[in-house]
């Protein structure tokens, strides 16, 4: 059979072009996959500075460039998480004084007061006590550097390497509150002995107002029951020698004034 030469030549050229392109694309895809494998191997073995054999999960990407960008993002995220963990895991040394005990502790500056109290209790140096009966003070036994805000960390309160933390025992007091002709009683309330009479009155007022509106305001009388002399308004309960278990009278002579519609 005789075939025209021109169509046959065209067919051969077309077939060879198709085969060449197929080989080229296959080689390109193989190289790209091989490159991804090598990069993943580097990430896995060297970890971009992380511990050996740690891996970074990178989702499949349609191109090598997208894969590299995603790998870099994942690496930065991993490094940031590791730095946060290292920051939280770096303890500091503090000195604890509670009752007659002196305790050296390593603490996480990111912990809060509740966790610190639990840590002190676990030392078993002060068995049988309720840590909620104590309030911590920073660097000063009788100072005003309170660190009993449950929402803040030790670092937020300025606790650093070598800080001294003094736990002061709260007083358990009863209160008789009189405003005009009305009277309320509060029993077995625990308060820190380094509060002033005014600060103590604010706490008592807040306690009563959990259940009803009973504004006290500045008191005319703040004294230990059975005495006639007011406590020094500028002194603390400790400085005023208020004993544990005492009953305190808080009296305001003015008639109580409530907001309309409230009892």
What's the pLDDT tens digit per position in 121-173?
999 998 888 998 998 888 765 555 667 677 888 888 888 999 999 998 899 99
**Confidence band, pLDDT 50/70/90 cuts, at residue 250:** very high
- Rounded CA-CA distance 23/149 in Å is 71
Lowest mean pLDDT among 30-39, 91-100, 166-175, 215-224: 30-39
The per-residue pLDDT for 50 is: 42
Q: Could you tell me the end-to-end alpha-carbon distance of the chain, in angstroms, rounded to an integer?
A: 117
pLDDT at position 72 is 78
Which segment of 4-13, 59-68, 206-215 scores lowest on mean pLDDT?
4-13
Q: Which pLDDT score is estimated for 138?
A: 85
What pLDDT does 232 receive? 94
Contact 70, 38 (CB under 8 A): no
C-alpha 191, offset from chain centre: 25
Structural domains of the chain sorted by starting position, each given as residue range(s) with its CATH number in brackets: 5-87 (no CATH), 92-170 (3.10.20.90), 171-252 (3.10.20.90)
Highest mean pLDDT among 67-81, 86-100, 210-224: 210-224
178-199 per-position pLDDT tens digit:
998 899 999 999 998 888 999 9
For the cut 60, the answer to whether the pLDDT of residue 175 exceeds it is yes
Output 121-125 pairs: Cβ under 8 A, ≥24 positions apart.
Answer: 125/98, 125/101
pLDDT tens for residues 191-244?
A: 988 889 999 999 999 999 998 888 888 899 999 999 999 999 999 999 999 999
pLDDT of residue 176: 96
pLDDT of residue 149: 74
Query: How high is the pLDDT of residue 261?
Result: 55
**Helix H segments across 93-247?**
113-122, 197-208
Round the average pLDDT of the chain to a whole number and report it: 77
Contact indicator for 242, 231 with CB cutoff of 8 Å: yes
Measured at the CA of 208, the angle between CA 204 and CA 212, to 5 degrees, comes to 155
If one compares 43 and 193, the residue with the highest pLDDT of the two is 193
What integer is the mean pLDDT of 89-117? 90
Which among 69, 40, 64 has a CA at the least distance from the CA of 53?
40
Q: Which two tokens stand for residue 164?
A: 């001294």
Q: Which ranges in 47-196 belong to alpha helices (H)? A: 64-88, 113-122
**Least confident interval from 51-65, 89-103, 105-119:** 51-65
């Amino acid at each position: 059979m005789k075939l025209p030469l021109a169509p046959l030549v065209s067919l051969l050229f077309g077939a060879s072009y198709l085969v060449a392109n197929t080989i080229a694309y296959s080689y390109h895809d193989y190289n790209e996959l091989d490159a991804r494998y090598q990069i993943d191997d580097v990430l896995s073995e060297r970890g971009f500075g992380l511990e050996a054999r740690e891996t970074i999960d990178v989702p499949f990407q349609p191109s090598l460039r997208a894969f590299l960008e995603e790998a870099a993002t994942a690496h930065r995220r991993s490094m940031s998480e590791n730095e946060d963990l290292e920051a939280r895991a770096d303890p500091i040394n503090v000195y604890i004084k509670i009752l007659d005990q002196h305790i050296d502790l390593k603490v996480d500056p990111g912990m809060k007061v509740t966790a610190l109290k639990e840590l002190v209790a676990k030392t078993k140096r002060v068995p049988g006590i309720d840590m909620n009966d104590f309030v911590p003070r920073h660097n000063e036994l009788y100072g005003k550097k309170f660190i009993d805000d449950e929402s803040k960390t030790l670092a937020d309160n300025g606790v650093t390497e070598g800080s001294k933390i003094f736990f002061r025992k709260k007083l358990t007091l009863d209160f008789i509150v009189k405003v005009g002709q009305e009277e309320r009683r509060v029993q077995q309330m625990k308060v820190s002995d380094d509060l002033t009479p005014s600060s103590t009155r604010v706490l008592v007022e807040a306690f009563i107002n959990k259940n009803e509106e009973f504004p006290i305001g500045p008191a005319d009388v703040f004294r230990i029951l059975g005495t006639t002399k007011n406590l020094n308004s500028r002194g603390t309960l400790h400085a005023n020698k208020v004993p544990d278990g005492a009953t305190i009278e808080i009296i305001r002579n003015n008639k109580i004034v409530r907001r309309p519609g409230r009892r």
